[in-house]
Every structure is written in C-alpha cells, then in structure tokens.
Chain A
Amino acid sequence: VQLEAVGKRYGLRQPWVVRGVSVDLRAGRLIRVSGRNGSGKSTLLRVTAGVSLPSAGKVTGRPHTGYVPERFPGGLPFSGREYLRHLARVHGLRGEPGRRRVEQWLERLGAAGYADQSLRSMSKGMCQKMAIAQALLPAPGLLVLDEAWTGLDQAARGELDAAVAERVTAGGIVLFVDHDPARLAGREDERWNFDGDGGVTVLAGPAPLADPVPQAVRRVESVTLRLETTDAAGVVDQVRAIDGVRVISVNVDGADGPGAAES
C-alpha cells in the first residue's frame, strides 16, 4: 500500500486534519499510530482503510481490507450472526465457506452463545466482538484497528493479539491505534507519530529485525538527513536500497524543481 501526499479535511473551509502523509506500507508490518486526542489518527486510519477518499493525494495498492471502528454501537435490525453472515457475503465469502468462517470467529472470540441476540440488545463488549469478527472474516491483507481492544474481556483481547500476529506472519499489514502504550508493546515494526498539525513522522519500532544481523552492528533508531537535490525521488530510492534501512520519511522544504515536487 502506498500513501502519496495524502491529506484530508472535511469541507473546503475546514482545517486539514491530516496533511502531506507519504508512506510505503510494506507487507508483514505491524504499525502503531500515535498522537494526542484529536490529532487525526482516526481520520488517517479511515483514509488508509478506504472508508473515505483523501481530499488530497492518493492511496494506491490497497489489498482486501478489514476495518474495526472505534465505536460499534449496533443499531442494525439484525442478530449478531445474521449481521456477520451479511458481512461475509459483502467480503465475497458466499455460502457454506462464509458460514463456517462466521462460526469460527464467533467461537474464537467467545461470542457463539450470544450471537443470536439482536445487535440492539447486545452489551458494548459483545458489539465490539461483532465488529472485530467482521473485519477478520476475510483474512484481510490490510487490517485497520481503531481502539479495537476497548471493552473486550481478557480472553478476547488475547485472541485479538493472536489474530494480529497471524495477519502479520501471513504477510498482511496491520495498522492500529490504542490508548494503552503496553498494547502489543515491543512488537511494532513502525511507529507513526502525529506531530500536532496533521503531519506524520514515521519511526522504526522496537520489533526485532527479521533478518539475522551480526552482533557487532550497532542499532541506529533514526537518522535525520538534510539534502539539496534536484532528483529527490532518485535519492530516496538510493537511501532505501541501503542495507538495514527500514523506514524513510521525507519532508520537502522548498519544492522548486520537478523532482522535489514529486517526492
């Protein structure tokens, strides 16, 4: 998935909630998005998940996506099981395989016994389980979790942690926001920090490097370089090709030349 200079605002006279975010999301990465309340985390998650289109820039190469919203209030005239069967079909899982997948996830999240209750009468935690189940049904290539752990019991939180690990191992991308800094701590590959005015700084996370690295190599958390160039895209490609570089985040100061404008 690529975000290219993605910006989002809700109306022409509204302020930019997210601005100028350019990132490559590479396969098999677990990404934590952090920032204070109202900094634009949820908006960026929604744009990345394809729930709404960006106001500027574009999102390309998005695989099949599962999205868990921060609040899932029910309110639909279905039972939990009926809702999930509808959503399985919307995700492209028809007939028996779809039904089996629904039962599997209800079982895993400990919700099978409550799935025939109507969504309107379900507790907050049970509704949240329905929202999580619908996102995980299709084994999505991109899983976007907006405070998905809120309201879950301990067993379900553990199952969700396990499901996230499964997606990442299978080469999927998982993007998440959570108020608890201990959530999946030590396992993130990248951290996206909102800097307060809608911009995002991408940092390498504490996750162990996948490839074996010699003990002598010192770990460098982040390096800031200032370059003057007419071929910004070329330079970025060269830096990316350096062994061990995991994340590149580019800020363009004076976009004079065509190359700079592109990056």
Chain B
Amino acid sequence: VIALLRYQSAILLRSHRWIFPLIAYGLLIAVGAAGSTSLAETLDWSGAMLVPFVAFLTRGMLTAEPDAARACVAAAAGPARAQLATLIVPLGGGAVLGLAAVAFDVLTAEAAARSPGAGLAGKVAAAADHPAIVAGGLLIALVCLLVGSAVGALCNPPLLRHRAAAMLSTLAAIIIALVADVSPASAAISHTTAQAASPLAANWPGTGSLLGAACLLAVTWGVSVIAGTRRDTWSASSD
C-alpha cells in the first residue's frame, strides 16, 4: 500500500493538478483572514474552504491516471487497493494544507496582537492564547476534510465519468455541503457561528458532525472502491 501511495502521490505532484486548487485555497484563506473579526471565525472559514479544495484535489487525482496504467497497477496490487490509494492521497494533501491553514490563522492573529493598542486585535490575541479555540478549529478542519473527500469521491470517476456532469455535480455538492443543514460540515461551521458572539468561547463543533462526516466518507469511499473494482475504464470521458 505504501508503494501505491508513493506512486499515486508522485502522479498528483508531477501532473501539477494541485496548483489551481492550492492557489484558490490560498486566496480564499487570505481573504477570510482579512475579513474576519475573531480567530474562531477565521478558523471556521479556513475549515469550510477545505471542502472545495479537497473535493477538487480528489477530482484531479481520480482523473490523473490513464486507464491502461491503472489496469497494470490493478493486476499487480488489486483494483480495490489501487482505488483506495487514489482516494487516500488527496485526503492526505488536504490534511497537510488544513494544518498549515490553522497554523497560518493562529500566527497572523498573534502578529496582529503585537501591533499596539487596537482593542479588537487584543481580543484576537487572547483567543489565540486559548487552546480550546484552536482545538475546535482543528476539529472543524477535520470534519470539512472528510466531507470534501466524500464529495470528490461521489461526484467523479469511476462513479461519474462524464466530464461536464462531474464538474457541475462536484460544485453543487460543495455548495450543499456548506449550506444545507443536514451536512456535517455545515453543522460544524454554524455551531461556531452561533458562539462567535463571544470570541473567547470554545468552538467545539460537536462529535455528531465528526461522526456524520466519518460515516459519509466511509459510504462514498466504499461505493467508489466497489465501482473501481467493477469498471474497466476509470478516468474521465467527455461524451
């Protein structure tokens, strides 16, 4: 499995399919950090934006390997494991970036605190010193990471191979995941927004949304792996 992960992550890195999602995520985080009034809110935002990032990174990975190359790997290591590796790699990429974003949020908040005087900045610095807020932010990022991966697995090959349909349904699923009340990601985010009135309050998104996100991930990955073992064509088709 480690060899498969190495192979797939080399394909993802060298095919440059990560560049566009990364730039978009970086811009969104910068905008979010500039526009937020508290650390809890900033963490909320950077967690929420992980959903589109991981979804599109997963799409990039699922369409990167040509069918013939996948067939060779599937014969060598089994089609289920090959498909699992293509799902794990973008999830790992999202995890690294999510951690980086939380670190960025906390560091920029502290930097703001050192600037003299400002009452708001002082509050933000106080929040950064409060570990429960950071832990809550990490938990939100985890929930959004799982939901984003589930969206990417569900709306792309081998389940949905038509290119335009896959793109549109990925976008629609991202919006639903961030807005609809039933979505674990939306539940995790809105839970903090309700508490954001007092910036020092801990922002636990609740174990329910984490559990929901984990179930969603298990189901969508399961369906994707089953489809991956039954199909002979995995990558995108344009007709």
Contact = CB atoms under 8 A, between A and B. Distances in A.
> Most B CB atoms within 10 A — which of A10, A69, A134?
A69
Interface residues of B, number: 27
A76 B68 CA distance: 11
A52 B74 contact: yes
A46 interface: yes
Given A73-B66, A73-B68, A77-B14, A51 B77 contact: no
Nearest to A93: B3
Interface string A67-88: 1110111111110001000110
B231 A72 contact: no
B75 A65 contact: yes
B7 A66 contact: no
Contact of A90 (B3, B15, B71): B3
What is the predominant secondary structure among interface residues of chain A facing chain B?
Answer: loop
A69 B71 contact: yes
Interface residues of A, number: 36
B68 A51 contact: no
A134 B10 contact: no
Contacts of A94: 3
Interface string B167-188: 0000000000000000000000
Contacts of B66: 73-76
Nearest to A42: B232
B69 A72 contact: yes
Contacts of B232: 10, 43, 46, 51-52
Contact of B72 (A74, A89, A135): A135
A32 to B, nearest CB: 19
A55 interface: yes
A51 B79 contact: yes
Contacts of B77: 90-91
A110 interface: no
Contacts of B14: 77-78
Interface in B59-75: 65-69, 71-75
Interface in A99-152: 131, 134-135, 138, 144
11 contacts: A46-B71, A46-B232, A51-B74, A51-B232, A64-B76, A71-B68, A72-B68, A76-B65, A86-B7, A87-B72, A89-B3
Q: Which 7 pairs, one residue from A and one from B, show the smallest C-beta to C-beta distance?
A: A67-B75, A89-B3, A77-B14, A69-B68, A75-B66, A86-B7, A49-B75
Interface of B: 3-4, 6-7, 10-11, 14-16, 65-69, 71-79, 229-232
Interface of A: 10, 43, 46, 49-53, 55, 64-69, 71-78, 82, 86-87, 89-92, 94, 131, 134-135, 138, 144
Given A65-B75, A134-B72, 14 more contacts: A51-B71, A52-B79, A64-B76, A67-B72, A69-B67, A69-B68, A69-B71, A73-B66, A74-B66, A86-B10, A90-B4, A90-B77, A91-B77, A135-B72
